[in-house]
Amino acid sequence: MSHYTKILLAQRPDHRPVGSHLFEVQSKEIPTAGPGQILIKQTHMSLDPAMIGWMSPDTESYIPPVELGSVMRSSGFGEIVESNHPDFTVGDKVMGMIGWTEYALTNGQGINKVQSDIDPEMALSVFALPGLTATQGLFNVGKPKTGETIVVTGAAGSVGSIVGQLAKAEGLRVIGVVGSDEKADWIVNTLGFDGAINYKSDDLEQQLTELTPDGIDLFFENTGGPIQHAIFNRMNAFGRIIVCGMIADYTSENPALGPNWINIIKKRITIQGFTMPDHFGEVPALLAKLTPYVMQGNVQYRSHVLEGLESAMTGLNLLLTGDNKGKLIVKL
Amino acid sequence: MSHYTKILLAQRPDHRPVGSHLFEVQSKEIPTAGPGQILIKQTHMSLDPAMIGWMSPDTESYIPPVELGSVMRSSGFGEIVESNHPDFTVGDKVMGMIGWTEYALTNGQGINKVQSDIDPEMALSVFALPGLTATQGLFNVGKPKTGETIVVTGAAGSVGSIVGQLAKAEGLRVIGVVGSDEKADWIVNTLGFDGAINYKSDDLEQQLTELTPDGIDLFFENTGGPIQHAIFNRMNAFGRIIVCGMIADYTSENPALGPNWINIIKKRITIQGFTMPDHFGEVPALLAKLTPYVMQGNVQYRSHVLEGLESAMTGLNLLLTGDNKGKLIVKL
């Protein structure tokens, strides 16, 4: 009788680092699909910054936290290995919120078939949460116009790297903020950003001024942190700020204060927060918007692949420290 | 030969208090209307918080600052005493950006005739900048819905008092933040607000929690100051924040920082700044929206009247300290 591993959330994170003390690893018998059920063998699992929020006790967050004692929530890619469901056949490739488990037994709800020849890493890096979030935030919240200047924080991250490439394809001047010189090099020389700033350097404001000679029209915020105020202070009249992530503050004991609001009036700025779960109904339209950019070669990605389910527990810290290089994926 | 007084801006304000050291008072001969011109005798002049911005050197502000050596900008109410203009007749009552002067000679641009029987204080308190600003901010930016809760700062002020009354007429729960118990009494017992908080009291957060049991959906911000964070922290999902004024910070040496942005994501909040000069083209539509509320008796006001043109120079401080009781008007 074969066994598989799954990981439950046992404790809510207090402060960083997150790690195995928060989870319970269980070994179980591989189940059999009952009537109407499918059994999925997950092959690739996505680790996303939003997961920190899903683990937290904050009931005001955008989707309910993962219940203690439940399989940790995550999106993933897998293959149908048993099916008693009319819509699925053994061998189908699927994506969905499969969770931290090697096998998942479900009724198929929220599980979507994908083209059989798609690369799993590309599927999770572009056509899943990162690409959908980038598309929703940039186009539907930010409403970019050709010739405008956008600054993207977390610009080498899974969402930020796509935001910048989409904006570049739309004819914007695109400046990315990253946490290492290697990432700066990647977004400029591989992805085609117009400039990059390593937020760990000393002369942030000067670099920002030089790279945004016409000011900043759009600010796509993924991180928070000290550069937020500098970017805010260079916003142009009628600027739009898309608040997508604040990874620097998710597990911080003393989240930094934001900028004073006077400039919100003086420059008639709009600041808008959004999260993808509110827009899952718009996924078909978002994919229709995103796909042509990918087909035309405008969206490159890179994956940072961890091996084995249990690597997820400490792997999350890479998102908090920014030490991941590209979309964080766990290969099972 | 008769003379009149006008007041020029001589120096930009640094920090409070503002006062006569910033201005130059001139006595001039009353001019005569040339071809196409009208001569206005101003009877009532409006003092508004926005004027602090107009005096400041900040070129990024929403409208150009008043040039040094020019008549200080303001809106006012007056009567035509000479006319060589086809649209105006001696005796017409008019409103417009007349400035700090007893008499104004103009070609009529930006000067609008009003009903001859309108009370000048009501005209300046309701149908001018305060009412237009309240209408634009509440309806077009805030998009209020019946049953929602709104918190208005500067709630006894010229804009805030109208915002609260319009919101009340729309069926919202309306809580006002003010700077004195007398103002709290006025907005609740005369204007019909559901509750008031004196921001100078010690238990701000507790009062706010008690008065907003269902959280806060709209926040109409006129002041800034320490209660901003407390209000922000009680915002509901999909809350809207209308940033109209930051009077507490206009002349402050150390403007206070704003709240951390994490809740902007968690609660998908929209924060939007606006100023009326961007919407002068929409004035007819705004008046059409506002007028029925006034006609139905939903909009009460009170004026704080100063006597004589020169009282404007120190009168502006009442707006900074909050010591005005009602719409600040200078009677000439």
Using CA atoms, how far apart are residues B296 and B134, in angstroms rounded to an integer? Answer: 17
> Same domain, yes or no, for B133 and B264?
yes
Average pLDDT over chain A, rounded to an integer: 93
Query: pLDDT per residue over A164-211, tens digit each?
Result: 999 999 999 999 999 999 999 999 999 999 999 999 999 999 999 999
pLDDT above 90: residue B325 = no
Using CA atoms, how far apart are residues A47 and A124, in angstroms rounded to an integer? Answer: 10
Out of B237, B259, B273, the one facing A265 most closely (by C-beta) is: B273
pLDDT class of B58 with cuts at 50, 70, 90: low
Q: What is the ipTM of this complex?
A: 0.88
Chain B CB contacts of A263 under 8 Å are 60, 273
Please check whether residue A99 lies inside any domain of the structure: yes
> Same domain, yes or no, for A93 and A231?
no
Chain A CB contacts of B275 under 8 Å are 265-266, 268
Query: pLDDT per residue over B225-280, tens digit each?
Result: 889 999 999 999 999 999 999 887 776 777 889 999 999 999 999 999 999 889 98
Identify which has the larger pLDDT, B134 or B50.
B134
pLDDT above 90: residue A50 = no
Please check whether residue B175 lies inside any domain of the structure: yes
pLDDT at position A325, please?
Answer: 86
Percent of chain A, pLDDT > 90?
80
> Same domain, yes or no, for A270 and A147?
yes
B269 with A272: Cβ contact below 8 A: yes
Using CA atoms, how far apart are residues A19 and A33, in angstroms rounded to an integer? Answer: 32
Domain CATH for B151: 3.40.50.720
CA distance B3 to chain A (A): 38
Out of B58, B249, B272, the one facing A270 most closely (by C-beta) is: B272
Least confident of A96-105, A232-241, B58-67, B311-320: B58-67
Query: pLDDT per residue over A134-167, tens digit each?
Result: 999 999 999 999 999 999 999 999 999 999 999 9
Test the A interface: residue of B55, B61, B264, B279 with most A CBs within 10 Å? B264
pLDDT above 60: residue A59 = no
Radius of gyration of chain B (CA): 20
B260 with A249: Cβ contact below 8 A: yes
Please check whether residue B43 lies inside any domain of the structure: yes
Paired residues of B24 in beta bridges? B8
pLDDT above 90: residue B286 = yes
Chain A CB contacts of B53 under 8 Å are 266
> Same domain, yes or no, for B87 and B163?
no
> Same domain, yes or no, for A325 and A225?
no
pLDDT above 90: residue A309 = yes
A112-113 vs A93-96, strand pairing mode:
antiparallel
Chain B CB contacts of A243 under 8 Å are 261, 264-265
With CA atoms as reference, the chain B residue closest to A240 would be B272
Mean pLDDT of A106-115: 91
Identify residues of B whose CB sits under 8 angstroms from chain A CBs: 53, 58, 60-62, 221, 224, 228, 237, 243-246, 249-250, 255-275, 278
Please check whether residue A297 lies inside any domain of the structure: no
Out of A255, A270, A274, the one facing B268 most closely (by C-beta) is: A274
> Same domain, yes or no, for A143 and A244?
yes
Q: Which domain holds residue A240?
A: 129-278+288-292
- For A90, the 3-state DSSP assignment is coil
Please check whether residue B162 lies inside any domain of the structure: yes
Q: Which helix (H) or strand (E) holds A104?
A: strand A103-106
> Same domain, yes or no, for A140 and A232?
yes
pLDDT class of A322 with cuts at 50, 70, 90: confident
Domain CATH for B85: 3.90.180.10
Work out the number of other CB atoms within 10 angstroms of the CB of residue A296: 9
> Same domain, yes or no, for B110 and B133?
no
> Same domain, yes or no, for A188 and A235?
yes
Domains in chain B: how many in total? 2
Of residues A118, A125, A122, A153, the one with CA closest to residue A137? A153
> Same domain, yes or no, for B312 and B197?
no
B261 with A243: Cβ contact below 8 A: yes
SS3 content of chain A, % helix, strand, coil (to 5): 30, 25, 40
> Same domain, yes or no, for B189 and B316?
no
pLDDT at position A61, please?
Answer: 57
> Same domain, yes or no, for B19 and B101?
yes
Please check whether residue A142 lies inside any domain of the structure: yes
With CA atoms as reference, the chain B residue closest to A236 would be B60
**8 A C-beta contact, residue B98 and residue B75:** yes
Give the tokens for residue A206: 């000067």
Please check whether residue B146 lies inside any domain of the structure: yes
Please check whether residue A283 lies inside any domain of the structure: no
